[in-house]
Structure 1
Amino acid sequence: MRHHPASLDPLFKPRSIALIGASDDVARIGGRPLRYLREGGFKGAVYPVNPKRDTVQGIRSYDSVAALPEVPDVAILAVPAQGTVQALRDCADRKVKAAVVFSAGFAEASEEGRLAQEQIAGIARENGMRVLGPNCLGLFNAGIGYYGTFSAILDAAFVEPGPIAVVSQSGAYGSHIAHLARQRGLGIGQWITTGNECDIDVAEALRWVIDQGDVKVVMAYAEGIRDRDTFIEALEVARAKEKAVVFLKVGRSDVGAQAVSSHTAALAGSDAVFDAALRQYGAYRARTTAEHLDVTYACARGLYPTGNRFGIFTLSGGFGIQMADDASACGLDVAPMPEAAQDELKAMLPYASPRNPVDATAQALTDLPLMTSYIAAMLEKGGYYLFAGIFGSGPASPTFSAKLRQALRTATAGHEGRVLALSMSAPTEIVRAYENDGFLIFEDGSALVNALAALVWFRRSFDAAKQARTAPTATSRIAPPDGALSEHEAKSLLQAAGIAFPKEALVRPDEDAGAAAAAIGFPVVVKISSPDIAHKTEIGGVIVGPRDEAQARDAAHTILSRARDKRPDARIEGVIVSPMIRGGVETIVGVVRDPSFGPVVMFGLGGVLVEVLKDVTFRVAPFDVAEAQRMIREIRGFAVLEGVRGAPPADVDALAVMLSRLSQFAAHNDDVVESIDLNPVLVMPRGEGVMPLDALLVPRNAASRS
């Protein structure tokens, strides 16, 4: 059931709150949130519910939800698992709009717990109540002083509101990343942990926070997603609004079940598909908690460079070269300063290296006006969209810090549209002062470069989303096949979707393969055609190269004989006779059903690059030709398609059209198709198209029976 995003408003923006199981002890689960609500500045009514006490933490307590003087927008349940279902029923009877369930001991614990969780979900559905949890740490909306959580990170201090939202399946991770963000000086407006997700999941929470005007970047954490459509919608809305989603995804598993019958499925893993889906819809995947924080920090200002030219200023050649190496690895352009500008800088300091990195040597520390001139020249004449200065511990020096800060302010004045970063180590108050001047501050140079590259990545993703998308190709719905399909049947279905195959002939066992081969043109390839023999080579069911009618007849006879001997149970249609095609770049294309995202298209280079290196990438179906072009360029071996060792460039444009058409077919027939393999697909020289030489289509009904 899809909900309108605003259905989470009562949960996130309540005017009144009931705390069921409220405790006088501020260290208990029922005591912390009441203390946080009392001290955090929440302006609405707070109603403790505890039948054993007249007051809780100095506030009047009520025997039950039914006894409350008004219907609260949200109820926070801090009661044991065995009391949760009844407490939720009481809330539903009072028409409470939303509830937060802290307790563990549900689906994550036992079968009995799973059944209780299903009861909670049922109460939510039947009453239109939104439920967060169970087994979660709750949520907060710092802008209104609403802290509906028992997280201990608020013990010492509240989190200041700011441009970041946190959406996490894990309460522990959500708390930890919020703590680290606070240490980094970042404000968090909305924070939500979804726990067991009996109702509200990561996708829906993500969708809600992205709609909030004060949110510029979302830190998300999940093992997986349940609601594909809402998740994709959330990421697309974020990209359209130019709000960064920085995602830490954990957990790796294989799709598994159909790995034997489908080569594509054997190469597909849920994690690889999730990774590709994040790229496809514009979310950045962080590999570590440190990167999660660094990239979020860089995005929090909402400033994204329009290009990737990167200027580096250093007082030490070695550090500058290291940063330049990192930048090159991240795809940033460490372009040299213009020659005339280099000459000017050289005239100021003859033994400096003014190329890029611009190394002003330690001399610049004793002549800060010189350093100011160098940095100003880089920003005014270098054409750099991103700038980094490497200063080490210099800004921490009591005798030097103020003058250095002033020199940097003077040098960068008027360049607020550029992304300015410094690599430095200093006490927090000094770091905050530089941040207030507009600089991003990193201790580690490699982390700095990676974060700047992420900003460039987001800018390109935002811009790509604005480009007009090509209309979906009209593609046919197919009737559910009655069991497995032969290669010839699979090709017929795919041809109706606009996938072109080389001309071929199906020759029945009693027909003349020689005459068919002559009509095709020699040399030919002869293959067994059977819905029950997916892997033809395993029975010797492929003969390559017959050059006349007699050889073609012999090949057909041999193949049919082998099939009868090795697979007497198989249904035999006959043999396929097709032209023997040489040249081109061998690739593999396929479709597989992912548990989270449904049909996804896979692409990779064929042969050893697939078998050993698994150099493949994925896209969630359907997608347009522009997305297919980006997909093709993601593989590590893309240079092979551009032409190497004298080979002509391959027809990448035709390949992109085929991938997009296949994605449309897969999406339109999601309920019918389990997997598709086109292997190999020869990508011919530019202008000559693509040649899929084999096709395996596994219907869902056949997959479920196997």
Structure 2
Amino acid sequence: MSDAFSSLLAPLSVALVGASDDPTRIGGRPLRYLRESGFKGQVLPVNPKRETVQGLPAYSSIAALPAIPDTAILAVPSHLTRQAVEECAQAGVKSAIVFSAGFAETGTDGARLQADMVAIARSRGMRLLGPNCLGVFNPSVGYFGTFSVVLDNQLIAPGPVGIVSQSGAYGAHIAHLARKRGLGISQWVTTGNECDIDVAETLDWMVRQPETNVIMAYAEGVRDRDAFIGALERARKAEKAIIFMKTGRSDVGAEAAASHTASLAGSDAVFDAVLRQYGVYRASTTAEQLDVAYACASGIYPPSNRTGIFTMSGGFGIQLADDAEAAGLDVAPMPDAAQDKLREMLPYSSPRNPVDATAQVVSDMDMLTSYVRAMITEGGYDIFTAILGTGPSSKNFADPLRKALMAAMDGQEGKIRGLTMSAPDEVVRQYEKDGFLVYEDGSALAGALGALVWLRQGFDLNRDGAPVAPGARLELPEGPLSEADAKAILARAGLDFPGERLVPLGEDVGEAASRIGFPVVLKICSPDIAHKTEVGGVAVNLRDADAARKAAAEILHRAAEHAPGARLDGILVAPMAPEGVETIAGVMQDPVLGPVVMFGLGGIFVEVLKDVTFRAAPFDEAEAMRMIREIRGHAMLEGVRGAPPSDIEALARMLSNLSRFAAAHADRIESIDLNPVRVLPRGQGVVPLDALIVLKEEATDDRH
């Protein structure tokens, strides 16, 4: 992998197939950019119709080149691309970028052409990026292997931000916005159709680059689940933030994503939850993605969310305090003694937090320094923010104000310092050079600071922990499975079920019920009846043996009537479960991310409010606890209106064991339903009342 990306992003020589003498054409722009950037490598234009291209000697073909290039840029139409790939592969080129469209994104014929092209490349060990992409660039070595017009007026400087995008247009746009924000870029890769190199592999490589502190990613879907999750986990351990823009939230968006990149978007809710699971920040807008990446670029994250707000206007301070609280920041008041000290300095100030020094402070910059220093040191804040308005745009005011703030920050280098202000770019750059994060909008500042705190918490998770291993591999029978079969299997995987007994047909249900103890529940047990209530296959709260016998007869009669072809194993007799909070858990196979565990509260919470969340399997109990607390209705489990707290620890243990089982049997399990799961008061455990396992070979069967 490293050799492929080294050749793609730091080649010593590059062939440009389809090179154009016109620097405005697709085959001409990369050559123009390489010349303007001072690229030190060898550039080899390939154009059989010209002797020179933009002043460089041109060659008739790849075979005619004086040396084998590290990489090739293919700027030829789709119908000529196959031949170009074949020539590169035969010559021993390590990698190639395919600009042209007209492949898998266009339908069956395009997909066939793309697959043929990939097969040729793989037969010789050559890697392909694209097709239908804008290419790559690496400003640190002056390599710009792209035809993006975003570089027409100005090249992009090197810096700490990596960008990987399936969409070339989006990748170019976010690079342009980053440049306007003063951010340099370490590497920029657009993957297009991902016939070979994809977002996951690129992310993994980019995270490994020491000059990259934060990555902005755009994807409409991912293909390689293991590589993707591996890249996310590697980024978390390296404390490198990934700020993700994932489209396809709506059904319309998901359909557009599939047609755009010929990729499968998968369930957006699952993708969203998995990003949270691995500490990836998902931006909802491009502006937010840029705001958060800008804050992360320095690689400094606050150890806590305690935030001090310095202002010279009470109204703006209150507004920022509201935004900060909404972003999860703690706008804790100054200690009383510290407030008294600040009032001694400025009697008319309001030093609680927001700390309003009023406009009088600007008449004495030494006083401003002392005031802010006291606020930071005695307030115990890990995040300092100040509202400066248009003051820094004043020629007389900007430099003294900046120096006064810098003097106040002396010895506080580890603290985050954020400003809201409006000033010319050169003034903003000077503040940034001194370590300040500068935003024009207070809400954007608060949101970015909240993201820094959230990312810090994600980095701290499982810092020294080993990856969670799947559970032990069990021998699974052929399906379909009855409820009793499913519970027996899951019990071996560490799940606890109530003491139940399967009574075969013809045996005395009343006697079995008496041994279990009344009241009891009876359920039809059949591998062919998944939804027992729909056939009248359940009777509850039976209080004696005769009632149990009568109910069993009625259940069997209804089963014969509504499901005449169903195989019947007998009647399942279970004790009535104690009172508790009803939840639902299960496993599904996401088409992109594989086995995922779902959890939510039962009843109206899942049916109407859709209050559920997901995690990729497997995961440990700590992650299960975060999963439980993520749903909106988690307070129901903490105990409300006098109800005792639920046994959340036992619930987390069950979810973790379920995830390990799902991961170990991903090749056999299509889905698992545990509904309902009754969570008992703390210390009493959880009771899954029903269980259904659907195996893959039966997933398309017509079950009753």
| Offset, 1:473 | 7.1
Give the 3-state SS of the residue equivalent to 1:587 in structure 2: strand
Distance 2:538 2:121 in 1: 58
CA–CA separation in structure 1 for the residues paired with 2:166 and 2:666: 28
Superposition deviation, residue 339 in structure 1: 1.0
In the TM superposition, what is the alpha-carbon distance from 1:408 to its structure 2 partner? Answer: 1.1
**1:323–1:449 CA contact under 8 A, matched in 2:** yes
Residue 551 of structure 2 corresponds to 555
The answer to whether the Cα contact below 8 Å between 1:40 and 1:146 also exists between their aligned partners in 2 is yes
Q: CA contact under 8 A between 2:307 and 2:332: conserved in structure 1?
A: yes
Deviation at 1:86, TM superposition (A): 0.5
* 1:197-346 superposed matches below 5 A: 197-252=194-249, 270-346=267-343
Judge conservation of contact 1:621–1:667 (CA < 8 Å) in 2.
yes
**What is the distance in 2 between the residues matched to 1:55 and 1:478?**
68
Give the C-alpha shift of residue 8 in structure 1: 2.0
User: In 1, distance between residues paired with 2:591 and 2:332?
Assistant: 44
Out of 427-436 and 6-15, give the one that drifted further.
Answer: 6-15
Per-residue CA shift, 1:496-550, capped at 9, x if unaligned?
A: 1111100111112211111111111111111111122211112222111001111
Aligned to 1:541: 537
- Residue in structure 1 matched with residue 57 of structure 2 by the alignment: 60
Q: 1:254-653 alignment to 2 at 5 Å?
A: 270-469=267-466, 472=469, 474-479=471-476, 481-653=477-649
In structure 2, what is the Cα distance between the partners aligned to 1:233 and 1:253? Answer: 27
Aligned-partner SS, 1:274: helix
Going from structure 1 to structure 2, the CA distance change for 1:695 and 1:269 (only over 3 Å counts) comes to: farther
Shift of 1:245: 0.8
1:376 Cα deviation from its structure 2 partner: 0.8
Alignment-derived partner of residue 19 in structure 2: 22
Three-state SS of the structure 2 residue aligned to 1:344 is helix
Sort the Cα spacing of 1:470 and 1:286 in 2 relative to 1 into closer, same or farther, 3 A. closer
Corresponding residue to 2:37 among 37, 40, 50: 40
Q: Deviations over 1:589-635 (max 9, x none)?
A: 10000011100001111111111111111110011111111111111
Task: Say yes or no: does 1:156 pair with 2:153.
Answer: yes
Q: CA deviation at 1:470?
A: 8.4
Identify unmatched segments of 5+ residues in structure 2.
253-264
Q: Tell me how far 1:455 sits from its aligned partner.
A: 0.9
Q: What is the 5 A alignment of 1:666-685?
A: 666-685=662-681
Alignment root-mean-square deviation, CA: 1.6
Cα deviation 1:46-103 (Å, max 9, x = unaligned): 0000010000000000011001010000010001111000111011110111000001
2:258 is aligned to none
* Cα distance between partner residues in 1 of 2:340 and 2:150: 54
Deviates more, 1:402-411 or 1:334-343: 402-411
* Code of the aligned partner of 2:454: W
Kindly provide the amino acid, as one letter, of the partner of residue 96 in structure 1. V
Letter in 1 for 2:514: A
- For residue 96 of structure 1, what is the aligned residue in structure 2? 93
- 8 Å contact from structure 1 (residues 421, 448) kept in 2: yes
Whole-Å separation in 2 of the counterparts to 1:697 and 1:9: 47
Q: Determine if contact 2:86/2:121 at 8 Å carries over to the other structure.
A: no
Q: What residue is the counterpart of 2:262 in the other structure?
A: none
Which piece of structure 1 moves more, 524-533 or 587-596?
524-533
SS in 2 for 1:696: strand
Q: 1:446 to 1:153 in 2, by over 3 A?
A: same
Matched, 1:11 2:12: no
TM-score, normalisation: structure 1: 0.96
Q: Cα offset for 1:13?
A: 1.4
Contact 1:469 1:624 in 2 (8 A): no
TM-score by length of 2: 0.96
Percent identical pairs in the alignment equals 63
Q: Distance in 2 between matches of 1:476 and 1:579?
A: 31
Q: What is the one-letter code of the residue matched to 2:659?
A: S
Give the secondary structure class of the aligned counterpart of 1:398: coil
1:284-341 deviations in Å (ceiling 9; x for gaps): 1111100110000000000011111111111222221222222222221111111110
Instruction: Give 1:71's match in structure 2, choosing from 64, 68, 72.
Output: 68
Are the counterparts in 2 of residues 470 and 625 from structure 1 also a CA contact under 8 Å?
Answer: no
Corresponding residue number in structure 1 for 2:171: 174
Are 1:219 and 1:245, in contact at CA under 8 Å, matched by a contact in 2? Answer: yes
Deviation at 1:114, TM superposition (A): 1.4
The one-letter amino acid paired with 1:490 is A
The counterpart of 2:701, out of the listed 686, 700, 705, is: 705
Aligned to 2:257: none
C-alpha distance in 2 between matches for 1:512 and 1:362: 88
Task: Give the conservation status (yes or no) of the 8 Å contact 1:476–1:496.
Answer: no
Deviation at 1:379, TM superposition (A): 1.1
**SS of equivalent residue, structure 1 residue 99:** strand
User: Structure 2 counterpart of 1:428, which letter?
Assistant: D
How many residue pairs align between the two structures? 690
Deviation, structure 1 residue 367: 3.6
Q: Deviations over 1:222-257 (max 9, x none)?
A: 0010011111111111111111111100013679xx
For 1:122 and 1:473, how far apart are their aligned partners in 2? Answer: 34
Task: Report the equivalent of 1:693.
Answer: 689
Q: Indicate if the aligned counterparts of 2:471 and 2:663 stay in contact, CA closer than 8 A.
A: no
Contact 2:482/2:692 (<8 A) preserved: yes
Q: 1:469 to 1:346 in 2, by over 3 A?
A: same
Distance 1:24 1:403 in 2: 52
Give the unaligned 5+ runs of structure 1.
Answer: 256-267
